[in-house]
Each structure stands twice: as structure tokens, then as C-alpha cells.
């Protein structure tokens, strides 16, 4: 049972990760290439910032990669841990909303009743213009 | 040489699409990132019209264009797909937002039953197979109007698959030459809409309104079975009519309730399909066909000049009349799809599989919905043709305008006039007046009752058809008057007194002996001149057929 759950949780993680790390280490010493870090930073608009953060990520991956040792051959994958539960259906009535004031309290900047965001997505500057992460 | 001249089958009058909406959406809320990850089916496509690039440098080249569509229709519901906040157009910013819609921590999605029913209904109307089990997935992308950083959609197993949409295009100049076509529907999936972004370039900031965030969408994916803008626009129009007939979406393009992305490529017939581009956010019916045709033309032009087509996302600039590359996406997106952990599989039932003793509020019975499907536009047209002997193009025209069919049916109910007469009056005169003043049917100053009464007067020959037109104009101008009032005020009723008419005929004949002589010598056209003179003398209040009878009687005596 557990094996089924576990495999699924890492389904998407594994699928993209394989694409990047296959040549470096197929079975997880947990090293993450500078290339992958840059890709993640671009997608998530998150700056990993320091080599310490990268090291922490690598440790987390190494920890999770132990799950790969579990033999799941012949085990049917689950859709979700909730797959046998009923999906509750709500009736189509309006019971929420009208709380712009409360929501906007979370915002860094507000114009009238709008949230203010930077124009478009700001892409991070190229890897080599930043402080380099040395992985080699 | 300039862009090659195009010649293809689907040029012609676009009557199916006449007057759908006025204007496009302003550059608001371009919902980027809605590309589905589907691969184009490589199956061969029937009935591809050939596009001939005339006088090409390399001799005669034939091109075939392939067009597939992804259509997003906002579900017409009171509340959003996964939250209880209201769905409404043009509300004050961020007033229709729940904590879930704003992605506050600790909130969970709760599925709206109405949205599921709308998807099933739409799937059934489009002859889809309804999946009794479908799944929700997260599609990740980062954009300020998507606060969760992902959209809940149905990537792996959508609610409906393998349907078809039939539509008709004009074959030639005559509207009666209609060709029926079918486009396959790959799938229909339930998903969340994003919020809207208002770009303030001046202050270099983006204003975010989350009122639309989380509204239920039906993404309808059409296979690339179309081959020009006309076909695509007509298919979209038919889908729009179907959604409106079902009530599953208001499908008003001007309010962004129906949004179209087109995948377009060109190739030589018999060769593999070309590289495709995606033209995003075709949010105006008026520009849909034009955008697609201009992209086809551009691709042919590029290829004929030895250049390549890039697999890119483009948008249509309606001022320039051509497509432009969109800059905001670099390289391939990585949506990192994953199963939505907070929603178990969506299970649907039919009468046979319905679990006994199930809470009726918690189960959806596909058969129950199927039994309650309303007439689809194609069925309504067929009924009009059967019931009233109407021409197919007239049935199309009646359905093409919101409220026009109802107006027509109300007139029919109250008048003794022939259906053909009613059809002609509603489509030619009534619709003509509406178009001229840019009014909707419900804004018309003439009521169905008034038109019915007018047609009754015409039917029992109380007035001539030219007088009827005069009465109609008067009805349009002066609200509240009845046709009979106008007829008596303006003295438009036909002369019923045959003796008086005979006297007029007699006077006219005496006044024009030359014409009478011509007639007697066998000039058959001369009688028309006499009829005209008599009508003039009666201020057009006499029935020409009666005049003719009287004149003929007098001449032969």
C-alpha cells in the first residue's frame, strides 16, 4: 500500500528530474547541476541564493531518493491517496466573497481595489551574470 | 513577389457568422499559459480544400492549411468551480474573491455540482463519450493573476472525449449552397479560469483583479479538421449557439465568456504536416476568420520565400490585420503537471450503475441529464424547415440573432398570414430595420403582436404590400400605435368599393386614349402603364390585381 502512494507522489518530480540529471547521476547521490538550479529558478522565480541552499536541496533529494529502493514492480499506481473517497459535490450557491478589504491587507501594494504586481514576469538575469555556484 | 494570391473554397458570404459581437476585448487579462499539452493527431483530414499560390516563382504550388482550435467557454453558474464566490461580469475589482480563490493557506477546493453537470451536458450535446471517472491535475505556471501558481485542470483523464461538431459553410455565392462539415472533438475538460491583469505601462505595474480567478471553464479541444478561417469561425459560431441553447455558457465573446486559440500549419497535400504556430486569444468573432487566414497566408509566404516556420505563439493585431509573435514566453514551458492531491477522482453514474440508496445531491446521473437535453440548434433548424417549409438559409438566419426565433414564433402564433410571408417580413424588413439602427431584437420598437396584426391586414387584403411597409415604418417611429390606427390615420386601406374603383379606371382610360389604343393593338405591356396610372390616382390604395381585372373587363367589352 505504501509503495503505491509513494511512487505517485514522486511521479512528476521524477519525470522532469530524469531529464536533467540522467547523465550526472541516474540513481541519486543527490547532486543538482547548476543547469537544473537555473531552470528551477526561472520557473519558480525563486532565487536559491547561496550554495548552502543548494546543499540543503541536495540533501532533501538524497533523503527522498531512498524511496526508489522500494520494489514497486507489479503494484498498480494510485491516482491519489484519496482515490477511494467520494468527491463531495457542492450546490451552486454563493456563500463567499465580498471580502476585498481583508484580502488586500495581505498585499504589498494596492491601487484602488486592485493588487499591484510587477509588469509581467521578471526573468532572472542569466546564470553567468550572477554569483556562480561551483558544482565542479 | 508579394504575398501569394489565395483562392479557396470557403470564400463567400459569411452569413452564419453575421453580427456576433461588437468589438473585441481590450487587452485585458490575456490569459497566457493555457496551452494544453496535447499532440496534434496525425490522422488524415477529409475534405481539405487546396490553396493555390498563383503565379508562384517555382511554378504551381498547392498548399493545404490545417487548423485546430482550443476553445475556452466560461460555465454559466452562480458560483465558481471550486469556491462559493459569485460569478459575475464587471463587478468591482476583487469583490468576488474567496480565501480559496486568493490561494490563502489552508483553503481547499470544493467542486461545484452545477459545473460538472454543465460539462456532462455539453459533452452529450457534442456526442462525446462521457468518462465515468475523470481526474483533476495541477498545471503549474507563474503569473500574477494565478495566485496559487497552478491551475486545476483535467490533463490525464478529462470528463468527456471523442465527440463531434457539425457545422455548415457556404459553398458558393448563393446562400442555398450549403456544405455540411464535421470537426472531431478530442476532449472537453473542466478547469479554472485565471484572474485578469490590467497593464499600466506608464507606471510600469500590473493591476490584478481576481474576480475571474476560479470561474469554471470548459476547454473544448477541436481536432485539426478545419482548413481556413471561415470554417473555424463557423464551427465556433455553431458551438456558441449550442452552448447558449444548453445554457451551459453565455458564450458572449465580447465579455470574454468564449475565447479561442488556433493551431495553424500549412503543407503540400500528401506530405507530412508543417510546423504549426499557435495564435492565442482570438476573442472576437469578427477577427477570428481574418486572424487565421492571415496566419495561413503568412506561413505560405514565408515558406515560398525559403524561410522556416517556427513553432511559436503569436497574437493577432487587429489594427495591423496580421499576427505577431508573442514575446512573453521564451522556450518551451514546463508545466510540471501533477495529480491534484486535494480532489479524489470525479465519478459519474448512469441509471444502471447508480448505487442504491445514494444521496441524490451527491451523485450525477448521465442518463438523467441526457433525457433533459433541450433542442440543439441543428434540431431547431430542422423543425423550422419541416414545420414551415422554410429554406435552410432562413432557418440559419432566424437562429443567428439572439431572440429572433422567439420573435418569429410569437408573430406566427398571432397571425393568419402564411409562414413564408412571416419569414420574409421578419428576415427582410424587421431584421433590416434592426441592423440599420444597430439594435438587438429585444430593443425593437415593434412588438410581435403589432407585426402580427399588420400581417393580418395584409393577409386579408385590407392594405397593399407597399402600404404595409409604410405602416411598418410608422410603427417603428411611433411606439404605442396599432397598425389599424396608422392605416386609418394615413388612409392607407385598400379601396374595397369596386364601383368607385371602376369609376377611377374609367376616368383614367378616358384621360389616356393613346395608351388604350396601344393596348387594343395588342401591346400587352401597355396595361401595366394603365395599372400604374390607376394606382397613382387612388394614392396606391387599390390592389393591382383587382385593377387589372377591371381594366381587362372594360377593354374586352
CATH classification at residue B524: 1.10.10.410
Q: Residue A75's CB: how many other CB atoms inside 10 A?
A: 14
| Paired residues of B69 in beta bridges | B222, B262
- Does B372 fall in a domain? no
The strand pair at B313-317 and B277-282 is best described as: parallel
Q: How far is CA B182 from CA B178, B238, B369, in A?
A: 13, 11, 24
- At residue B11, the pLDDT reads 38
Residue positions counted in chain B: 557
Residues B221 and B319 in one domain: yes
Among A94, A104, A121, the residue with its CB nearest the CB of B84 is: A94
C-alpha cell at B268: 503540400
Contact B72, B217 (CB under 8 A): yes
Q: Across chain A, which distance is largest between two alpha carbons, in Å?
A: 58
For residue B25, how many C-alpha atoms fall within 13 Å in the half-sphere facing its CB?
A: 23
Contact B419, B412 (CB under 8 A): yes
Round to whole Å and give the CA distance between B458 and B192.
55
Round to whole Å and give the CA distance between B557 and A111.
92
Residues B388 and B316 in one domain: no
CA distance B94 to chain A (A): 5
Round to whole Å and give the CA distance between B209 and A100.
10
- pTM of the entire predicted model: 0.78
Q: Rounded to 5, what percent of chain A is helix, strand, coil?
A: 40, 5, 50
Q: Rounded mean pLDDT of chain A?
A: 72
Identify the helix (H) or strand (E) that includes residue A59.
Answer: helix A51-65
Domain count, chain B: 3
C-alpha cell at B153: 485542470
Name the residue of chain B whose CA is nearest to A116's CA: B207
Chain A residues with CB under 8 Å of B86 CB are 94, 97
Query: How many A-B residue pairs are in contact by the CB < 8 A criterion?
Result: 159
Contact B456, B416 (CB under 8 A): yes
A73 touches chain B (CB under 8 A): no
Round to whole Å and give the CA distance between B71 and B288.
12
Round to whole Å and give the CA distance between B188 and B219.
5
Of B229, B185, B230, whose CA–CA distance to B71 is shortest? B185
Contact B31, B281 (CB under 8 A): yes
- At residue B414, the pLDDT reads 93
CA distance A71 to chain B (A): 22
Q: Residue A45's CB: how many other CB atoms inside 10 A?
A: 13
Q: Residue B357's CB: how many other CB atoms inside 10 A?
A: 5
The 8-class DSSP code of residue B189 comes to E
User: Among residues B339, B366, B392, which one ends one of the domains?
Assistant: B339
Of B303, B231, B217, whose CA–CA distance to B262 is shortest? B231
- Does B1 fall in a domain? no
- At residue A29, the pLDDT reads 58
Contact B338, B137 (CB under 8 A): yes
CA distance B205 to chain A (A): 5
Among B83, B201, B206, the residue with its CB nearest the CB of A118 is: B206
**Which has more confidence, B139 or A134?**
B139
| Paired residues of B259 in beta bridges | B72
Contact B50, B59 (CB under 8 A): no
Angle of helix B448-459 relative to helix B404-414, nearest 10 degrees, comes to 50
Instruction: Check CB contact under 8 Å for B92 and A85.
Output: no
Contact B50, B270 (CB under 8 A): no
Identify the helix (H) or strand (E) that includes residue B421.
Answer: helix B419-424
Which candidate in A78, A89, A104, A125 is best for mutational testing of the B interface (most B CBs within 10 A)?
Answer: A89
Instruction: Check CB contact under 8 Å for A79 and B330.
Output: no
| Paired residues of B66 in beta bridges | B265
Name the residue of chain A whose CA is nearest to B196's CA: A114
The strand pair at B111-112 and A89-90 is best described as: parallel
C-alpha cell at B512: 389616356
Instruction: Check CB contact under 8 Å for B344 and A84.
Output: yes
User: Among residues B446, B473, B490, which one ends one of the domains?
Assistant: B490
Q: How far is CA A32 from CA A15, A28, A54, A66, A99, in A?
A: 15, 10, 8, 16, 43
By residue range, what is the domain housing residue B516?
A: 498-556
Chain B residues with CB under 8 Å of A85 CB are 344
Name the residue of chain A whose CA is nearest to B87's CA: A94
Given CA atoms B479, B480, B484, B485 in this order, what sign does their dihedral have?
A: negative
C-alpha cell at A9: 507522489
A94 touches chain B (CB under 8 A): yes
Residues B389 and B332 in one domain: no
Domain spans of chain A, in order of start: 30-67
pLDDT tens over chain B, length 557 residues: 333 333 343 433 333 333 333 333 333 333 333 333 333 333 333 344 455 444 444 445 689 999 999 999 999 999 999 999 999 999 999 999 999 999 999 999 999 999 999 999 999 999 999 999 999 999 998 888 999 999 999 999 999 999 999 998 877 666 667 889 999 999 999 999 999 999 888 888 899 999 999 999 999 999 999 999 999 999 999 999 999 999 999 999 999 999 999 999 999 999 999 999 999 888 887 799 999 999 999 999 999 999 999 888 898 988 888 898 876 554 456 788 999 999 999 999 999 999 998 899 999 999 999 999 999 999 999 999 999 999 988 999 999 988 999 999 999 999 999 999 999 999 999 999 999 999 999 999 999 999 999 999 999 888 888 888 989 998 998 878 889 888 888 777 777 777 888 888 888 888 888 888 887 787 778 888 888 888 888 877 777 788 888 888 877 76
Given CA atoms B412, B417, B421, B425 in this order, what sign does their dihedral have?
A: negative
Round to whole Å and give the CA distance between B344 and B321.
46
Round to whole Å and give the CA distance between B145 and B31.
9
Which candidate in A5, A15, A115, A118 is best for mutational testing of the B interface (most B CBs within 10 A)?
Answer: A115
Which candidate in A20, A40, A77, A79 is best for mutational testing of the B interface (most B CBs within 10 A)?
Answer: A79
ipTM of the complex: 0.74
User: Among residues B339, B358, B393, which one ends one of the domains?
Assistant: B339
Q: What is the pLDDT of residues B435-461, one digit of tens each?
A: 999 999 999 999 999 999 999 999 988
Contact B220, B74 (CB under 8 A): no
- Does B260 fall in a domain? yes
Contact B132, B348 (CB under 8 A): yes
Q: What is the pLDDT of residues B115-167, one digit of tens each?
A: 999 999 999 999 999 999 999 999 998 888 999 999 999 999 999 999 999 99
Round to whole Å and give the CA distance between B142 and B148.
9
Contact B448, B411 (CB under 8 A): yes
Which candidate in B28, B32, B77, B102 is best for mutational testing of the A interface (most A CBs within 10 A)?
Answer: B102
- Does B233 fall in a domain? yes
Of B359, B334, B339, B340, whose CA–CA distance to B349 is shortest? B359
Round to whole Å and give the CA distance between B403 and B406.
5
Instruction: Check CB contact under 8 Å for B344 and A103.
Output: no
Amino acid at each position: 500500500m505504501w509503495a503505491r502512494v509513494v511512487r505517485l507522489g514522486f511521479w512528476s518530480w521524477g519525470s522532469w528530474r530524469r531529464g536533467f540529471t540522467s547523465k550526472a547521476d541516474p540513481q541519486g547521490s543527490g547532486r543538482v547541476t547548476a543547469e537544473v538550479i537555473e531552470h528551477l529558478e526561472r520557473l519558480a522565480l525563486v532565487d536559491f541564493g547561496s550554495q548552502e541552499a543548494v546543499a540543503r536541496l541536495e540533501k532533501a533529494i538524497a533523503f527522498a531518493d531512498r524511496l526508489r529502493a522500494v520494489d514497486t514492480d507489479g503494484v498498480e499506481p494510485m491516482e491519489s491517496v484519496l482515490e477511494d473517497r467520494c468527491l463531495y459535490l457542492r450546490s451552486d450557491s454563493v456563500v463567499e466573497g465580498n471580502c476585498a478589504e481583508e484580502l488586500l491587507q495581505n498585499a504589498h501594494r494596492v491601487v484602488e481595489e486592485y493588487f499591484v504586481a510587477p509588469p509581467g514576469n521578471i526573468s532572472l538575469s542569466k546564470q553567468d551574470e550572477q554569483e556562480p555556484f561551483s558544482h565542479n | 513577389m508579394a504575398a501569394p494570391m489565395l483562392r479557396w473554397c470557403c470564400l463567400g458570404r459569411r452569413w452564419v457568422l453575421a453580427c456576433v459581437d461588437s468589438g473585441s476585448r481590450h487587452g485585458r487579462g490575456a490569459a497566457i499559459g493555457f496551452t494544453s499539452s496535447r499532440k496534434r493527431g496525425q490522422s488524415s483530414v477529409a475534405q481539405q480544400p487546396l490553396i493555390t499560390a498563383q503565379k508562384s516563382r517555382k511554378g504551381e504550388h498547392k498548399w493545404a492549411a490545417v487548423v485546430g482550435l482550443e476553445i475556452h467557454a466560461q460555465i454559466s453558474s452562480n458560483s465558481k468551480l471550486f469556491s462559493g464566490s459569485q460569478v459575475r461580469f464587471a463587478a468591482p475589482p476583487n469583490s468576488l474573491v474567496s480565501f480559496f480563490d486568493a490561494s490563502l493557506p489552508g483553503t481547499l477546493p470544493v467542486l461545484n455540482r452545477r459545473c460538472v453537470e454543465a460539462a456532462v451536458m455539453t459533452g452529450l450535446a457534442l456526442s462525446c463519450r462521457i468518462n465515468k471517472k475523470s481526474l483533476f491535475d495541477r498545471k503549474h505556471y507563474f503569473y500574477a493573476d494565478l495566485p496559487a501558481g497552478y491551475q486545476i485542470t483535467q490533463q490525464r483523464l478529462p470528463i468527456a472525449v471523442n465527440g463531434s461538431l457539425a457545422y455548415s459553410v457556404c459553398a458558393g455565392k448563393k446562400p442555398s449552397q450549403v456544405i455540411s462539415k464535421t470537426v472531431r472533438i478530442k476532449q472537453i475538460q473542466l478547469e479554472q479560469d485565471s484572474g485578469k491583469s490590467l497593464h499600466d505601462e506608464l507606471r510600469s505595474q500590473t493591476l490584478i483583479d481576481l474576480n475571474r480567478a476560479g470561474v469554471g471553464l470548459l476547454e473544448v479541444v477541436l481536432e485539426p479538421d478545419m482548413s481556413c478561417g471561415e470554417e473555424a469561425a463557423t464551427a465556433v459560431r455553431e458551438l456558441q449557439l449550442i452552448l447558449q441553447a444548453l445554457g451551459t455558457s453565455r458564450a458572449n465573446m465580447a465579455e470574454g465568456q468564449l475565447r479561442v486559440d488556433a493551431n495553424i500549419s500549412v503543407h503540400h497535400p500528401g506530405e507530412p504536416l508543417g510546423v504549426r504556430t499557435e495564435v492565442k486569444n482570438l476573442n472576437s468573432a469578427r477577427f477570428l476568420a481574418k486572424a487565421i487566414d492571415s496566419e495561413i497566408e503568412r506561413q505560405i509566404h514565408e515558406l515560398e520565400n525559403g524561410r522556416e516556420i517556427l513553432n511559436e505563439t503569436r497574437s493577432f493585431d487587429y489594427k495591423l490585420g496580421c499576427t505577431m509573435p508573442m514575446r512573453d514566453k521564451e522556450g518551451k514551458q514546463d508545466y510540471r503537471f501533477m495529480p491534484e492531491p486535494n480532489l479524489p477522482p470525479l465519478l459519474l453514474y448512469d441509471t444502471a450503475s447508480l448505487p442504491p440508496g445514494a444521496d441524490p445531491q451527491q451523485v450525477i446521473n448521465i442518463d438523467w441529464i441526457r433525457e433533459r437535453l433541450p433542442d440543439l440548434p441543428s434540431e431547431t433548424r430542422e423543425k423550422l424547415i419541416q414545420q414551415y417549409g422554410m429554406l435552410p438559409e432562413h432557418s440559419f438566419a432566424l437562429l443567428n440573432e439572439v431572440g429572433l426565433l422567439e420573435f418569429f414564433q410569437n408573430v406566427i402564433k398571432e397571425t393568419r398570414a402564411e409562414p413564408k410571408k412571416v419569414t420574409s417580413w421578419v428576415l427582410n424588413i424587421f431584421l433590416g430595420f434592426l441592423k440599420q439602427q444597430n439594435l438587438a431584437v429585444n430593443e425593437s420598437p415593434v412588438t410581435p403582436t403589432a407585426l402580427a396584426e399588420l400581417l393580418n391586414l395584409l393577409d386579408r387584403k385590407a392594405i397593399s404590400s407597399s402600404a404595409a411597409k409604410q405602416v411598418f415604418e410608422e410603427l417603428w417611429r411611433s411606439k404605442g400605435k396599432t397598425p389599424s390606427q396608422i392605416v386609418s390615420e394615413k388612409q392607407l386601406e385598400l379601396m374595397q368599393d369596386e364601383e368607385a374603383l371602376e369609376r377611377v379606371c374609367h376616368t383614367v382610360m378616358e384621360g389616356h386614349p393613346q395608351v388604350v389604343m396601344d393596348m387594343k393593338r395588342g401591346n400587352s405591356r401597355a396595361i401595366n402603364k394603365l395599372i400604374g396610372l390607376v394606382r397613382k390616382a387612388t394614392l396606391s390604395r387599390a390592389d393591382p390585381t383587382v385593377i387589372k381585372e377591371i381594366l381587362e373587363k372594360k377593354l374586352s367589352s
